[in-house]
Every structure is written in structure tokens, then in C-alpha cells.
Amino acid sequence: MDQIYVPDPLKSETDAWLKGLLVRSEGWVGNFSRHCDDPSTFKIEIEFFESDDFDAYAAVEGGVDVIRISLGLVFILRDLFDRILSHPDTLTFLGGTALENDRTNYPADQKSIDLAAAMQRGRIYKPKDASRVALADYLFSCAFDFVLSHELFHLFFGHVDYLKLKTGFHVLSELNPIISGLTNLDRHTLERDADRNAVFNTMARVVGDYRGQYGSSITMHSRRRFSASVLLLMPLPFLPSAR
């Protein structure tokens, strides 16, 4: 069992950022209570756990719905969009790429990162151009919300209850799935169901933000930013957490 991570906002900037991410996530998931017959009973606990794997799971523990996301997942996602947008050769139509530095390519086979080092170094590949920083932050939040909603739908649509019924286990893990009691078709169906709804949620957010932010004064920059967002978020269902 991985250690639950409790951020101390007074300790470091990274802890404060993680604490803010948790608070935001609770509010975001809390919005789903309006879809329940009795919103007063809707309660999902969200926690980070200390692992440098790209991992997440949904569980029912002691009658409480729980979503746990690894710190590795958080930092790998943040690093990914920072690297893409801090490279001067990618998406050159966005912001001022002259400020960005050329450097090594992104290692595509990277599975995990050194967590302690990652937390200390902060964002080593953070873009320099303000609009590219803003887009990296935005894309991180969209990708993170995709994982969050994927886990939420595992709970919301009764996938964890189904797992418990079939196998006796109450933890639906992305990285270490239960290998007995569920058929491959069961597993595939649950993951596709969670992915389908999470993709819809994420893309609906992107479209909604675009319309909300730019309304009738849509500029070339906003149009390009929107296109880049959709393009970069397309591979989301293929993230390791959504197999």
C-alpha cells in the first residue's frame, strides 16, 4: 500500500501547488453531485499517493468512495506539456518561440521520473513565453481532469461495485488490474466506458472555455490556441492510466 501524500503548503511552493490542485479537484468532482438522486449523500475523497509510477485508482473503502492519483502521474503530465511548449520547434504559431531554448528531445520511453528530484527542481522545462506558459498550465489541468473524471466514472457508473461483486476486490487499479474474476471483455468495457465519458467531459470543457473566453471576439491567436489544445489532448485516452 502506497503512502498517502499530505501536502504542507507552508513547506514548499510545490506543496502549496499540490494542495491547491487537491482543493480544485474536490470542487470539480463535487459538481457531479447535481447528477445524483440525493446530492447530500455524494462524497468522494481525493488523495495523492507517493509513487513515481503513472498510476491512479478508484476504490470503495469502508463505504466511502475514494480516488487516488500518484504524484508520478501529476509530475509526468506537467513535465510533458512543459517540454512540448518550451521547445522552439513545436507549435511555432503560438506565442514567441524566439524566447524558448533548443535542447534534447523528449524521451518517449520515459515511464517514470525521480519524484524527489522532480519536486525539488520544480519545472525545469517551463516555457518562457507567457502565452505558452499559460497554455502548458491549461493543458495540464485538462489532462489531469481527464484522469480525474476517468476515475470518477469508474465510481459513478458502478464499475467498482461490479468489480467487488465479481471478484471480492474493492480497488480498481489502472496499473495493477485484478487479473482473476474479470474477463478481458469486462475489463475492456469498463475502461472504454470510463474513457468515453472522460473524453467527452474534457473536450466539452475545452470547447466551453473557448466560447466563454473569446465569445464574439475570436482572434487568430485564440483560434490557434484552441486548435493546439484539441490536437495535444487527442491522445488522452491512450495514457497508461486509461488502458
77 SS3 class: helix
Stretch that binds Zn ion, among 85-93, 140-148, 192-200, 201-209 (CB under 5 A): 192-200
Closest distance between Zn ion and the C-beta of residue 184, in Å? Answer: 14
**Binding to Zn ion in span 216-235, by CB under 5 A:** none
> Toward Zn ion, which CB reaches closer, 136 or 163?
163
Contacts with Zn ion by CB under 5 A: the residue count is 2
Give the orientation angle of helix 13-30 with respect to helix 71-86, to 10 degrees. 100
Nearer to Zn ion, 67 or 84 (CB): 67
How far is the CA of 173 from the CAs of 54, 70, 146, 193, 235, in angstroms? 11, 11, 16, 15, 21
In the complex with Zn ion, which residue's Cβ is closer, 118 or 163? Answer: 163
Quote the CA–CA distance of 206 and 193 in Å, as a whole number.
Answer: 20
**Residue 195 CB, nearest approach to Zn ion (Å):** 7
Residue partners of 24: CB distance under 8 A and separation at least 6: none
CB of 58 to Zn ion, least distance (A): 7
Residues 6 or more apart whose Cβ sits within 8 Å of residue 242: 146, 147, 150, 174, 191, 194, 195, 198, 236
Write the interaction track for Zn ion spanning residues 137-176; mark x where CB under 5 A is met and - where it is not: ----------------------------------------
Nearer residue to Zn ion within complex by CB, 194 or 239: 194
First to last CA, the chain: 22
Footprint on this chain of Zn ion (rule: CB under 5 A): 191, 194
